[in-house]
Amino acid sequence: MIALLIRDLRLTFRAGGGFGLGLAFFLIVTVLVPFGVGPESALLARIAPGILWVGALLACLLSLDRIFQLDFEDGSLDLLATAPVPMEGAVAMKALAHWLTTGLPLTLAAPFFGGLMSLPTAGFLWVFVTLLIGTPALSMIGTFGAALTVGLKRGGLLLSLLVLPLYIPTLLFGAETARRAIMGMEYAQTFAILAGVSAGSIAILPFAAAAAIRINLR
Amino acid sequence: MELLVEGLTVARGGVPVLENLGFRLSSGQVLVLRGPNGSGKTTLLRTLAGLQPPLAGEISLPPEAIAYGAHADGLKGQLSVAENLAFWASVYGTRDIERALVDMNLVALRDRPAANLSAGQKRRLGLARLLVTGRPIWLLDEPTVSLDAASVALFADAVRAHVAAGGAALIATHIDLGLDAAIFDVTPFKADPDATAGDGAFDEAFL
């Protein structure tokens, strides 16, 4: 399974692998939003955590359909399914690889991009922390969506429509926790729910995604 | 070590293609599947590989015995020949890829990205994957597509060596590989496509 993780990471970093796509998209969003809403730094500072969260979420969405589609097209998914690797484990590794190449870079970049949005100083830490806790859920839910749509040609649209409602709890509690923490309000509850969404997704969705792939391969 | 199939009915897209089929494959044997296009050879192999459930019948085989070679080779174009092979070797828990590279005449190509290989070279790499699985039963779906005569001979030698070492192979092919093999023609087992493929299974509605 480690071999699968290493292969996926290697494929992403090599030419044509799509690493940096999400990051570039995230940068574009954070650069464009201040142009769109105007130069009022008080307004920007208020919406910054939310915009950073929405930007990270959409950037995550961009690379989801690559998770299984390429392996499906070149036949490796069939061969993986007959290999001595549990499909649940393979799915979890795919989600981890997606997080390492998308969620983690976005998380690390968010405080820097926050500077473009006049993010308050306390926000640098809290946007980073909430994204760090929340993006694993985004990758795992997205992997599940990719597994559901794996056999479909141009399944990207369906994938986005399936995944977006599932992303809402993560977005809601992630952005809300960051906002409350920045304003100095009580944030323990929303933070706990965010962590719960992440932990729950990681615990349950590999099994659901593996079942979806087995059905799609028939 | 033996693959035993009894009363097997397989379906593609919810439509039965082969029914009531049975054979036995023991170690040291090669069985060649014959049948016209669309007769269900691929479906049979996918069912035996565990990628889809049979509609009826029994498949008995030892656990962790199957290596499946499909139409597609499952190669990653950005990875080199050696990296592709090393990946599958570590998935199957084996380490040695050198012998497979030698046997399939890929040594000179080992650092070439798989995307730059010719169709026949890709196929040879796909077949080299079987050698690194260390599995006793090979299920091969048209393994010689796009191979030249010399490579077909190379492949036949690999199958002979595998069988001599106690392995077995079930090969769907249209050409004569020059192997000492029994022929299994699937044509007599053709299913009536109008027969319903079992009712009540929830996923049938979506197929």
Domain boundary among the residues B93, B115, B135 is at: B135
- pLDDT, mean of residues B190-199: 65
CB A78 to CB B83 under 8 A?
no
Return the residue in A78, A82, A148 with the most chain B beta carbons within 10 A, the one to mutate for interface testing. Answer: A82
A75 and B87 within 8 Å at the Cβ level: the answer is: no
Q: Please, which pLDDT band fits residue B195 given cuts at 50, 70 and 90?
A: low
Cα A85–Cα B54–Cα A155 angle in degrees, nearest 5: 60
User: Can you give the residue range of the structural domain that contains B80?
Assistant: 75-135
Report the domain count for chain B.
2
B70 within a domain of the structure (yes/no) = no
* Residue that terminates a domain, selected from B135, B158, B174: B135
Q: Where are the beta strands (DSSP E) in B81-143?
A: 137-141
Residue numbers in A near B68 (CB within 8 A): 78-79, 82
**b (16+ CB within 10 A) / e for B134-145:** ebbbbbbbbbbe
Domain-terminating residue out of B83, B102, B135: B135
* ipTM of the complex, rounded to two decimals: 0.84
Q: Write the pLDDT tens digit of every residue in A25-64.
A: 999 999 999 999 888 888 988 899 999 999 999 999 988 9
Asked if residue B80 belongs to a domain, the reply is yes
CA nearest neighbour of A106 among A67, A137, A132, A133: A132
Same domain, B142 and B192: yes
- How many Å lie between the alpha carbon of A22 and the closest alpha carbon of chain B? 20
Q: To the nearest whole angstrom, how far is the Cα of A144 from the nearest Cα of chain B?
A: 19
The domain ranges of chain A are: 2-217
Task: Give domain status of residue B29, yes or no.
Answer: yes
Which residues in chain A are contacts of B17 at CB distance < 8 A? none
CB contacts of A11 in chain B (<8 Å) are 76, 78-79
Q: How many A/B residue pairs have CB atoms within 8 Å?
A: 73
In whole angstroms, give the CA distance from residue A202 to residue A141: 8
**Shortest Cα–Cα distance, A35 to chain B (Å):** 39
The predicted structure's pLDDT at residue B13: 82
What band does B200 get if pLDDT is binned at 50, 70 and 90? very low
Sites in chain A below the pLDDT cut of 50:
none
Measuring CA to CA, which residue among A60, A55, A76, A80 is closest to residue A18? A60
Query: Does residue B82 sit in the same domain as residue B115?
Result: yes
Q: What angle do CA A208, B91, A211 make, to 5 degrees?
A: 15
Choose among B73, B76, B129: nearest Cβ to A11.
B76
Q: What CATH number did the domain enclosing B172 receive?
A: 3.40.50.300
Phi, psi of B31 (to 5 degrees): -120, 125
A76 to B83: CB separation less than 8 angstroms, yes or no:
no
Same domain, B3 and B53: yes
Asked if B91 and A4 come within 8 Å (Cβ–Cβ), the reply is yes
